[in-house]
Amino acid sequence: MGPTAAPRPERPRRGAADARGHLPRAGGIGGDTMTAVALTGRRVRLEQKAFWRNPEAAFFTFILPVVLVVVEGFMNHGDHLRDGTRTVVMLVPGILAFGLIATNYGNLAATIAILRDQGVLKRIRATPLPPWVFLAGQIGSSLLVSLLMTIVVVTTGTLLFGVHLPPARVPALLAVVAVGSACFCALGLALSGFIRHAQSAGAITNASYIPLSLVSGVFFPFQHRPGWLLRATGLFPVGRLADALRAPFLGKSVSATGLLLMGAWAVLGAAVAARCFRWTKAAA
Could you list the mean pLDDT of each consecutive 10-residue stretch along the chain, which spans 284 residues?
Answer: 50 48 46 70 91 82 89 86 86 96 94 93 89 93 95 95 93 97 97 93 93 88 77 94 96 94 98 94 74
Residue 283 falls within a domain, yes or no? no
pLDDT confidence of residue 128: 86
- Radius of gyration, alpha carbons of the chain: 26
Phi first, then psi, for residue 86 (nearest 5°) are -65, 135
Residue 68 falls within a domain, yes or no? yes
**Which residues make Cβ contacts (< 8 Å) with residue 255, sequence separation at least 6?**
240, 243, 244, 247
Residue 94 falls within a domain, yes or no? yes
pLDDT confidence of residue 7: 52
- The residues with which 80 forms a beta bridge, in sequence order, are 86
pLDDT confidence of residue 77: 80
Residue 178 falls within a domain, yes or no? yes
pLDDT confidence of residue 156: 95
| Domain count for the chain | 1
**Domain containing 255: what range?**
36-276
Residue 51 falls within a domain, yes or no? yes
Q: How many CB atoms lie within 10 A of CB 234?
A: 14
pLDDT confidence of residue 54: 83
| CA dihedral (206, 72, 64, 171) positive or negative | negative
Residue 105 falls within a domain, yes or no? yes
Residue 282 falls within a domain, yes or no? no
Residue 102 falls within a domain, yes or no? yes
pLDDT confidence of residue 53: 87
